Amino acid sequence: MMPPESWIGFFEWCEATYLGTLVRDSVWLFPIIEAAHLVALCVLGGAILVVDLRLLGLGLTGQRLSDLARHVRPWLLGGVAVMLSTGVLLFLSEAIKCFYNTSFWVKMMTLPAAIAFTFAVKNRSLDGLETSARSRVLGAVSIALWFTVAAAGRWIGYS
Amino acid sequence: MIHSFLEWLGNTKWSVALLESYYAWPLVETTHVLTLALFVGTAVMMDLRLVGVAFPGVPVSAFTNRLLPWTRFGFAVMVVTGLLLFYSSPLRYYNNLFFRIKVVLLVLAGLNIWLFHTRIHRSIHQWDDDYRAPRAARMAGLVSLVVWTGVVFSGRLVAYNWFDCDIQPQPDWVNFVAGCRAEADGLPAPSGELP
């Protein structure tokens, strides 16, 4: 999986940005931002899993799906916000490496899909929804999408 | 004695194979990291409820009865994968400053859980539905959030060798806390104590 070679200019520009240079030239910044990215993974993962487990008929089954989604919403949004801001900083510091990294492109394609699915499909299907084949599909697709995002994210560091 | 045992452990066939493997080690590590979302993620959701900043109207017992089994399952995966990673390079982790900080924080997290389950949780029927739980329960939730954040931070930093014994010179306290042994690790010998 390779992006058009003409995009490399943008990635070179990203890597040369003030923030990219700042993170790259620091010993501590990249690891600290990475750790914050992981703490946000916990919050985001918890907020997603509480609803997804319920969709699968597991976890907090005594609660209405729409209630659970409403309760986790601020933590979901906060988690996404911290993930995106720390993720952008990490990316800027090694944009050219990312350009040639297959895992990065897998993540860039599944991440928008996961976000769109969560907010445009899953969260809009919860009103009055009970555990059913439909809810199980929603939960399974959500977990599969976010799992791919997370696994590809971790794999950026290996390839 | 610990040192020579870990040295032996790190030289066993499977330890070397795991450390040098092309896919196994990254797969174990990826499992360890992704299970954070399940283990710490579900624990954080319960902590937020205990602290009283999320899930109004959801009884605490819903979390302890229905979500905690998933937290425990996540913890089991964390322990297995974590032990495997330790096994792949025992001495390196044993003498890693961040690994030692992580172990201390894990003990603190364990104490907090023990206190919660042996004391605070016993009276849960009295405050199960209260959005504002008793002070002790709120504290347990807060301590859990802070300590697990620390575990994630120190866990991530274990990967960096900034304070490893073979990177010298280091401040004395670093070598002390990391357990670096003077002769074996090539540290400058303390003056006046040469044999």
3-state secondary structure chain A: CCCCHHHHHHHHHHHHCHHHHHHHHCCCHHHHHHHHHHHHHHHHHHHHHHHHHHHCCCCCCCCCHHHHHHHHHHHHHHHHHHHHHHHHHHHHHCHHHHHCCHHHHHHHHHHHHHHHHHHHHHCCCCCCCCCCHHHHHHHHHHHHHHHHHHHHHHHHCCC
Cis check for the bond before B134: say yes or no (omega within 30 of 0). no
Structural domain that includes position B48:
2-177
Q: What is chain B's length?
A: 195
For residue B74, the distance in angstroms to the closest alpha carbon of chain A comes to 12
A47 vs B45: CB contact, 8 Å cut-off?
Answer: yes
Is position A30 within any domain?
Answer: yes
Distance of alpha carbon B142 from alpha carbon A70, whole angstroms: 22
Distance of alpha carbon B12 from alpha carbon A156, whole angstroms: 30
Looking at this predicted complex, what is its ipTM? 0.94
The predicted pLDDT at position B186 comes to 59
The predicted pLDDT at position B146 comes to 98
- pLDDT of A136 > 90? The answer is yes
Q: How many domains does chain B have?
A: 1
Mean of pLDDT values over A117-146: 96
Tell me the percentage of chain A whose pLDDT exceeds 70. Answer: 99
Q: Which of B34, B128, B157, B163 to mutate to test the interface with A (most CBs of A within 10 A)?
A: B34
Is position A1 within any domain?
Answer: no
Is position B182 within any domain?
Answer: no
Is position B71 within any domain?
Answer: yes
Tell me the percentage of chain A whose pLDDT exceeds 90. Answer: 95
The predicted pLDDT at position B181 comes to 80
The predicted pLDDT at position B184 comes to 59
The predicted pLDDT at position B192 comes to 46
- pLDDT of A116 > 80? The answer is yes
Q: Which of B49, B50, B67 to mutate to test the interface with A (most CBs of A within 10 A)?
A: B67
The predicted pLDDT at position B136 comes to 95
Q: Which helix (H) or strand (E) holds B100?
A: helix B97-118
For residue B9, the distance in angstroms to the closest alpha carbon of chain A comes to 26
Is position B42 within any domain?
Answer: yes
| pLDDT band of A128, cuts 50, 70, 90 | very high
pLDDT of B151-182, one tens digit each? 999 999 999 999 999 888 999 999 999 998 86
Mean of pLDDT values over A64-91: 98
Q: How many domains does chain A have?
A: 1
Cα dihedral across residues A61, A66, A69, A71: positive or negative: negative
pLDDT block averages, 10 residues each, chain B of length 195? 93 96 96 97 98 96 97 98 97 96 98 96 94 96 98 96 90 91 60 46
Q: Which residues of B touch A53 (CB under 8 A)?
A: 67, 70
Structural domain that includes position A42:
7-156
Using a CB–CB cut-off of 8 Å, the residues of B that contact A are 26, 29-30, 33-34, 36-38, 40-45, 48, 54-58, 62-63, 66-67, 70, 148-149, 152-153, 156-157, 159-160, 162
